Amino acid sequence: MPEPTDPADLFTRFLAEEAPVHPLPASEVRRRGDRLRRRHRALTAAAGAAAALLVATPLALATRGAETAGPDPAAPSPTATPAPGDVDWVTRVPADFPLGAGLRGLGEQPEVVPGFAPDPPVRGCQGGAYTAEAPVRALDAVQLDAPNAPGSEGGVQRGLLIYADDEAAREVLAAREAALADGCGSAAPLVSDLGEGSVVWVQRSGDAGEGELVQLVTVGNAVLATSTTFGGAGDAQVVEQTRELAQSTSALVVSSLCVFAADPCSQPPGAPDAAATTAGDRVPDGFPLTAGYPDDAAAGSGQPGLQELSRAVSPLTLTACGREVALPPGRTDLVRAGWSDRDDLRLRNLAVFARAEDARAYADDVLALHRDCPVDTGATGTAVETAVVASDLGEQAGVVVRSTTGADAAPPQVLHVVRVGRAVLVSLVTGPSVPAGSSPAEAAAQSDTAVREVAAAMEVFAG
């Protein structure tokens, strides 16, 4: 289902200064890294041939850069192909790097502090842990704690580690992959395709008790480590929801890692040009995106409750059967609202596109993604059955209902897609508000009722 890109991100109250972003897709990040590595291999081969001919080879062609200054964002793009030693790896975490993106909304922004010593640690096998010194020494590291992050039991911790070059960063992932391949106690690897490389696993404590989901993502010479502590680690659907949550909540952070790439972006992906948008391209003030949601008083103590409409969000990525559909470019506005309690997560994501055909294509892609995946075993091996039910809302709509079977089956996850003109609504509900055992038709009918007022308000984007 949705790559959570949200149950957590969805249900966090982002700071007002965060702007809508257009993260680079994983394929683009990998393309940039692959291009630089191809250059490196070609130059290394050329240097070897020159040495064989007793032609002096500059030392810079045979060595990689160590601690060098980061690229000047204002400098013009180079016109010559850089040699391996010409890569100016960013060796310090920029002061404005958005490490806390997606974890805000609990009254204050999590504090970013120097070093990397998470507690509990990002566990390795046999009690070992990743630190700023192992398995490779980092040149710089920062971390933050969000102990009350929605969707977690024990909170979320993030660490960002910067290494001498991309080979050192990849060594961190390689060490984890090797450990998981050899068997790593209760650790179980999950499917992941983030950044230039990623490894995700769950470390369980007991048969169905506490678990720690760890996500390592590398881009260039940086490694982002995210640890989410949660309950119900023995339930495959809970594990999948937590994985989706971790991926969606960290989407903006992963996109911003492009500043550490060998062929870096000059700055993290930013907001669309405000001058290029008009009033008709934006969701109007007072739009009822939270219609039908409970109020804050209905949430448990310490839970976020109602999350009002906000533009400070990262795009939602939806996945099924190992495939994904990301929110495409070409949109003029993106807003989100949600409601969350400990076990009840609800999200509404509304995107406005410049052209109706782009909105139609996106809605088609989302529904086709799930229609082509009637049974999804994912990384957990537990079968999740998916049904796509027709909906009469808007100009184009469908309801995706994902459910497991059995006496202990969790409530279905419901994803409702509605398009009206240039706007597409994606509404996600997971938790007890959809009764366990509901048929796809029953769950879809409940969702139709819940989002009908929002769909009616979308008529401002018709035509």
Per-residue confidence of the chain (463 residues) as pLDDT tens digits?
Answer: 333 333 333 222 222 223 333 334 444 444 444 444 443 343 333 333 322 222 222 222 222 233 333 333 333 333 343 455 678 999 999 988 888 887 754 444 567 888 876 554 444 554 445 677 778 889 999 998 887 665 566 788 899 999 999 999 999 888 888 877 776 666 777 877 888 999 888 887 765 567 888 899 999 999 999 988 887 777 777 788 788 778 877 888 898 899 999 999 866 554 344 444 455 688 998 999 999 998 877 766 666 788 888 886 666 778 888 888 888 877 888 898 888 887 788 899 999 998 899 999 999 999 999 999 999 886 666 788 999 999 999 999 999 999 887 667 778 899 999 999 999 999 999 888 888 888 999 999 999 999 999 999 999 999 7
What does the alpha-carbon distance between residue 239 and residue 245 come to, in Å, rounded to a whole number?
10
Q: What single-letter amino acid sits at 108?
A: E
User: Strands 155-162 and 396-403, how do they pair?
Assistant: unpaired
Query: Domain locations in the chain?
Result: 112-260, 272-461
Question: What is the CATH number that goes with domain 112-260?
Answer: 3.40.1000
Identify the three-state secondary structure at position 132: coil
> What's the whole-model pTM score?
0.49
Are 112-260 and 272-461 equal in CATH topology? yes
User: Strands 211-219 and 317-320, how do they pair?
Assistant: unpaired
Taken in order 233, 237, 241, 244, the sign of the CA dihedral is positive
Which tokens sit at 168? 């050192």
What does the alpha-carbon distance between residue 321 and residue 57 come to, in Å, rounded to a whole number?
50
CATH of the structural domain 272-461, one choice from 1.10.3430, 1.10.8, 1.10.20, 3.40.1000? 3.40.1000
Question: What length is written for the chain?
Answer: 463
